[in-house]
Structure 1
Amino acid sequence: MSVEEFHQKAFPGQELKWQTLWVGKELRAEIEKIMHRKFPNLRIRYWGEGAKTAWMFEEIGKELPITVGVVVNAGAIEQVQIMEYRESRGGEVRYPFFTSQFSDVRLEQKKSKWQLDKHIDGITGATLSVRALKKVTTLALYCHQHTEFAQLASE
């Protein structure tokens, strides 16, 4: 799926207009806890309208990056779309039977750790790809909280 196709699926009929989330010191520290690695970016680009945001992230599965699109609406995941899967194994994470588990999942904090509020079933042989998707969806939910669009949902 292309960037344009993902955008049109999330925001039908809208012009492709990027928003920017600037990554300061505190935000970076939390992102690095979620991702379990360094996060070198100064900004994260996304789209938003109303109480909805759409994010695209890449995360390594076993050896290669998986490009994932995540749509968050009013603080809950609306859609997870695998944009590009490059690994030779674990490709089952691309299919709706797996990605649909993320629908309506929210973010919760337990013992100063951000996590999904619902259990996501794994797939035999795709453990690292499943883990990558859980990190990306957690990151999208966390980043959504730091946008003006999250504020609109709470008003």
Structure 2
Amino acid sequence: MPFSPALGEEIYQKPTDFLIEAFQGPPPPVQILTVVGELREKARQILDHNPPSLRTRYWTKGERTVWILEEIGKVLPITTGIIIQGGLIEDVRILIYRESHGSEVRHRFFTNQFKDAQLTQKSSLSRAVDGISGATLSVHAIKRLATLALLYDQEIRHIQ
């Protein structure tokens, strides 16, 4: 049987279920953030490559924003759910993991390190996040996504 990346796909939580949990019920309507100009350049600096899309979906209610973002770990995307409340990370969840190594990033001992992190003036995380031996690329991917979600949250709070 030929190798199929989909065979290694682990769905830890469906994105729709994550949204329902994040909002404690049906999520609000999806919103779209247009990632162009200075925002796109800041996102590129965080990701070390251009953002994959000019439009990013998010959900918001009050001071809470929820982002479902993807970033390549080693060769395949990691789907991550990020909840931001009042400019601080409330939760980071690995929703779908597709890599053959590094899935330790899904555990709470890792994702809890992001709690209460905010974006610094230099567009980085305000908290240090310890790595995981054997999962370096996945750790870096999740750190980039958390930082990106904070950047995007900051952008929409300035727009509103």
Matches within 5 A, 1:1-155: 1-110=13-122, 114-148=123-157
**Using the alignment, how far apart are the partners of 1:5 and 1:96 within structure 2?**
18
How far does residue 109 in structure 1 lie from its aligned partner after superposition?
2.1
More strand by share: 1
Greater CA drift, 11-20 or 43-52 = 11-20
Matched position secondary structure for 1:116: coil
What amino acid is the match of 1:117?
S
Local SS of the residue matching 1:70: strand
8 A contact 1:4–1:16 mirrored in 2 = no
Letter of the 1:122 partner, please give it: G
Render the CA deviation track for 1:81-128: whole Å, top value 9, x for unaligned.
101011111110001111011111111023xxx100010000000000
Cα distance in 2 for residues equivalent to 1:118 and 1:132: 16
TM-score scaled by length of structure 2 = 0.88
Letter in 2 for 1:20: I
Alignment identity in percent? 47
Distance 2:64 2:27 in 1: 15
Work out the number of aligned pairs and report it.
Answer: 148
Tell me, yes or no, if the aligned pair for 2:75 and 2:99 is still in contact at 8 Å: yes
Given residue 101 of structure 1, which amino acid in structure 2 is its aligned partner?
A: Q
Structure 2 distance, partners of 1:25, 1:147, is 15
Task: Tell me how large the CA RMSD over aligned residues is.
Answer: 1.4
State the TM-score, normalizing by the size of structure 1. Answer: 0.90
